């Protein structure tokens, strides 16, 4: 592919890691494959707990976690206008040429695509789900989808059933929609029959969110029947959700706790071993555009039993022959029960699918590189089209109905005016352009990600960090000003100390180590009031008599109040009893937040009259550890 066909793509959705799911995995895998083709790819999603800001993933995949919190079902509150300044800044800074939204549920995807159209950026949307037409939630979602896609350049669906559903819901032409199936990372789902039970026990695997849409009511209906009919059958169920309570009630009522294991949420890196521990994979979904779970199970060589809904019949061959790997059933308890019985009987007769052959088939059928190639064809197609003007967008909105057309026209005009104001208030020429990850492969230390720079700085002393990087540029000045420092004064000369104290930001000191009488005398002159982040204090080669003078100054009282770790190492423990007792009492009376303490003693009886703080978790006496519970 020529350089002119290298695009700068923004994947956007409310659903991304650390959440685990089909949409999240699709975005990640597609992004990685596009990066391999030398496209620039970023991901935009909302914040997850304390995960806010910019993060880097494998191969330099940059992820923007915008400071918006989930409002409902892991999607942000729809506001349209509040996201404009931040989204505009990201799209311009990254010089995005294509915005690719994912999931009909995603508010952030629809709003970012709307802003991209105002900037004249091409948009693509991938629909991963099927929706009904009767209930209120579906009606509202379908109308939002219609007004969002009416001026979208192209739409991708994961199955032909999904395409038909999207055409009807959004009133779209067939030529505007392409079908590109999902894929599976075959290297992560390899067969291993050694993980299956060695006895004649048959294990049925279920991996799904435990919600109504996934047909958990069907699962609850067939569980007792299967367990009564087959004494050697066990179930392993992965996932969580509101229907978990109903499953537990059935298990307790039937007394089958030893035959049904609720595994909870299984991490993606452990899913391969979980699947390989069974013989049959059961899927009871009531609606599914494209079920990734059954593809992953088939890649591991499991016999699949699934309801015949949505796009599932398109995924795997299901003719009633012994060589096929999937048995389809109607979405009712009796039919699923019969299909599961057929699967169990096939396993008993030794008619097990050849795991390695099916893995190779899945590898050829569902490849992320194939998905990437077809997605690039869509990108090439939309780049030949003209960007849609505001006037044309308003004309298209009128096709969506009088009320919705009027509302969306008004929203588009207001958004356009806000963009004009921002162009005046924050001109595009003043927005710093981002540095591409490809440039980071050069030996430019200052272009590394913040996380990598901090890892490098961990190997340097505070004085070298301050001297070399503090005034390098604004970015490094900010990084250094936010970094907590570990200071060791044990080997400094008086000249080095005087130099250090001039440049060292005391409020950033988190750990301080001092030793010998000379250092103690210097410490007395340090303005400890500025060390409001000091949590670790280590004293070495200091006698109890010298320690007494360290504890006497009143200006050190506040410092001891905030310490979490206090250590006295390699100390001359000879001294008067009253000095030793005085120091020990000060340690435990002036350090209410102390969690770890190390002290040398002559007589362990010195500890009898002392009461450690309730926060103390670990006490080391003469380098022998004892766990403190209470006193």
pLDDT, one tens digit per residue, over 386-431 is 888 889 999 998 888 889 889 999 999 999 999 999 988 888 888 8
Is pLDDT of 39 > 50? yes
Q: Show the tokens assigned to 192.
A: 């291993």
CATH of domain 202-366: 3.40.50.2000
pLDDT in tens, 370-388: 999 999 999 999 999 888 8
What proportion of the chain, given as a percentage, has pLDDT over 90?
29
Is pLDDT of 165 > 70? yes
For domain 8-183+370-388, the question of CATH label 3.40.50.2000 is answered with: yes
| C-alpha distance from residue 189 to each of 268, 295, 332 (Å) | 10, 10, 30
Point out which residues pair with 234 in neighbouring strands: 203
Q: Nearest CA to 598 among 568, 628, 559, 563? A: 568
Three-point CA angle 423, 425, 427, nearest 5°: 45
pLDDT score, position 31: 93
More confident residue, 349 or 63: 63
Point out which residues pair with 594 in neighbouring strands: none
pLDDT score, position 321: 46
DSSP letter assigned to residue 268: G
Q: In whole angstroms, give the CA distance from residue 340 to residue 87.
A: 49
Q: In whole angstroms, give the CA distance from residue 332 to residue 313.
A: 16
Q: Which residue has the tokens 């991901």?
A: 43
CB atoms near residue 565 (< 10 Å) = 17
Q: Which residue has the tokens 């050694």?
A: 194
Q: Which stretches of 482-576 are DSSP H helices?
A: 494-503, 516-523, 544-551, 557-561
Q: Nearest CA to 568 among 536, 534, 612? A: 536
Helices 136-149, 107-118: axis angle to 10 degrees equals: 20
pLDDT score, position 11: 96
Q: In whole angstroms, give the CA distance from residue 144 to residue 400.
A: 10
Q: Where does the chain hold its CATH 3.40.50.2000 domain(s)?
A: 8-183+370-388, 202-366
Q: In whole angstroms, give the CA distance from residue 346 to residue 327.
A: 11
pLDDT score, position 448: 65
Contact (CB, 8 A) for 288 and 162? no
Is pLDDT of 340 > 50? yes
Residue range 479-498: mean pLDDT, rounded = 75
Helices 577-589, 544-551: axis angle to 10 degrees equals: 40
How many residues are listed for the chain in this entry? Answer: 631
pLDDT in tens, 172-195: 888 899 999 888 888 888 898 888
Is residue 459 reached through a cis peptide bond, with omega within 30 degrees of 0 on the bond before it?
Answer: no
pLDDT in tens, 210-257: 888 889 999 999 999 999 999 899 999 998 888 899 999 999 998 888
pLDDT score, position 626: 42
Strand 624-627, strand 618-621: pairing: antiparallel
Phi, psi of 256, rounded to the nearest 5 degrees:
-115, 35
pLDDT score, position 372: 93
Q: Which stretches of 150-238 are DSSP H helices?
A: 160-170, 216-229
Helices 402-425, 107-118: axis angle to 10 degrees equals: 60
Biggest CA pair distance of the chain: 93
Position 479 confidence tier, pLDDT thresholds 50, 70, 90: confident
Choose the weakest-confidence range: 110-114, 191-195, 485-489. Answer: 485-489
Q: Where are the beta strands (DSSP E) in 239-333?
A: 260-264, 280-283, 303-307, 326-329
Residue range 460-467: mean pLDDT, rounded = 77
Contact (CB, 8 A) for 618 and 595? yes
Q: In whole angstroms, give the CA distance from residue 308 to residue 478.
A: 57
pLDDT score, position 110: 92
Residue range 452-457: mean pLDDT, rounded = 76
Contact (CB, 8 A) for 244 and 237? no
Element (H, E) at 493: none
Residue range 51-71: mean pLDDT, rounded = 88
pLDDT in tens, 607-627: 666 666 677 888 787 644 444
Three-point CA angle 198, 353, 328, nearest 5°: 115
DSSP string, 317-371: ---SSTT-SEEEE-SSHHHHHHHHHHHHHHHHTT----HHHHHHHHHHHS-HHHH
pLDDT score, position 554: 61
Q: Is the pTM of this model over 0.75?
A: no
Residue range 94-98: mean pLDDT, rounded = 93
| Mean pLDDT taken over the chain | 82
Q: In whole angstroms, give the CA distance from residue 221 to residue 45.
A: 38
More confident residue, 155 or 104: 155
Is pLDDT of 46 > 60? yes
Strand 202-207, strand 280-283: pairing: parallel
pLDDT in tens, 1-17: 444 578 999 999 998 98
Contact (CB, 8 A) for 33 and 371? yes
Q: In whole angstroms, give the CA distance from residue 338 to residue 346.
A: 12
Number of H helices, E strands in the chain: 23, 23
pLDDT in tens, 503-534: 778 788 888 887 755 555 655 566 666 777 88
pLDDT in tens, 541-578: 776 666 666 666 665 666 677 788 888 776 555 555 66
Phi, psi of 18, rounded to the nearest 5 degrees:
-85, 0
């Amino acid at each position: 592919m020529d350089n002119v066909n290298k695009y700068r793509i923004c994947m956007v959705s409310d659903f991304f890691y650390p959440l685990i799911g089909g949409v999240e995995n699709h975005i990640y895998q597609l992004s990685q494959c596009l990066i391999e083709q030398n496209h620039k790819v970023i991901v935009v999603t909302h914040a997850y707990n304390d995960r806010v800001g910019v993060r880097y993933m494998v191969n330099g995949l940059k992820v923007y976690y915008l400071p918006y919190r989930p409002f409902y079902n892991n999607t942000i509150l729809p506001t349209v206008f509040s996201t404009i300044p931040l989204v505009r800044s990201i799209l311009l800074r990254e010089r995005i040429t294509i915005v690719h939204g994912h999931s009909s549920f995603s508010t952030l995807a629809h709003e970012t695509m709307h802003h991209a159209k105002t900037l004249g950026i091409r948009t693509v949307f991938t629909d991963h789900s099927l929706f009904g037409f009767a209930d209120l939630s579906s009606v509202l979602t379908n109308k939002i989808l219609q007004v969002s896609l009416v001026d979208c350049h192209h739409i991708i669906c994961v199955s032909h059933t999904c395409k038909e559903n999207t055409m009807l819901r959004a009133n779209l032409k067939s030529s505007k929609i392409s079908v590109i199936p999902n894929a599976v990372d075959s290297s992560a789902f390899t067969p291993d029959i050694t993980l299956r039970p060695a006895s004649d026990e048959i294990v049925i695997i279920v991996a799904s969110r435990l919600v109504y849409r996934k047909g958990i009511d069907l699962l609850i209906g067939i569980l007792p029947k299967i367990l009564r009919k087959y004494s050697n059958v066990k179930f392993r169920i992965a996932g969580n959700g509101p229907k978990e309570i109903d499953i537990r009630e059935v298990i307790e009522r039937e007394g089958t706790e030893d035959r049904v294991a609720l595994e909870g949420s299984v991490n993606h890196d452990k899913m391969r071993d979980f699947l390989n521990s069974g013989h049959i994979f059961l899927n009871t979904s009531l609606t599914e555009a494209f079920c990734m779970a059954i593809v992953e199970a088939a890649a591991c060589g499991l016999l699949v039993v699934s309801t015949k809904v949505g796009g599932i019949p398109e995924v795997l061959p299901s003719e009633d022959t012994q060589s096929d790997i999937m048995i389809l059933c109607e979405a009712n308890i009796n039919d699923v029960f019969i299909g599961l019985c057929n699967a169990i009987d096939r396993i008993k007769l030794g008619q097990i699918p050849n795991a390695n052959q099916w893995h190779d088939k899945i590898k050829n059928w569902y490849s992320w590189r194939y998905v990437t190639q077809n997605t690039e064809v869509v990108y090439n197609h939309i780049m030949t089209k003209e960007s849609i003007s505001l006037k044309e967008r308003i004309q298209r909105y009128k096709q969506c109905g009088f009320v919705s057309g009027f509302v969306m026209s008004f929203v588009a005009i207001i958004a356009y005016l806000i963009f004009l104001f921002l162009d005046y208030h924050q001109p595009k020429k003043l927005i710093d352009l981002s540095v591409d990850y490809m440039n980071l492969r050069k030996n430019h230390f200052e272009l590394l990600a913040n996380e990598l720079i901090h890892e490098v700085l961990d190997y340097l002393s505070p004085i070298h960090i301050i001297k070399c990087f503090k005034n390098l540029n604004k970015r490094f000045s900010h990084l250094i000003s936010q970094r907590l420092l570990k200071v060791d004064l044990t080997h400094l000369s008086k000249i080095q100390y005087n130099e250090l104290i001039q440049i060292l930001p005391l409020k950033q000191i988190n750990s301080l180590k001092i030793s010998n009488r000379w250092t103690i005398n210097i410490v007395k002159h340090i303005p400890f009031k500025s060390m409001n982040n000091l949590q670790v204090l280590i004293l070495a080669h200091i006698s109890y008599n010298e320690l007494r003078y360290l504890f006497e100054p009143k200006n050190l009282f506040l410092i001891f109040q905030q310490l979490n770790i206090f250590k006295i190492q390699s100390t001359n423990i000879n001294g008067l009893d009253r000095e030793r007792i005085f120091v020990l009492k000060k340690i435990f009376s002036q350090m209410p937040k102390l969690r770890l303490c190390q002290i040398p003693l002559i007589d362990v009886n010195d500890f009898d009259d002392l009461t450690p703080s309730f926060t103390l978790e670990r006490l080391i006496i003469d380098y022998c550890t004892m766990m403190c519970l209470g006193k």
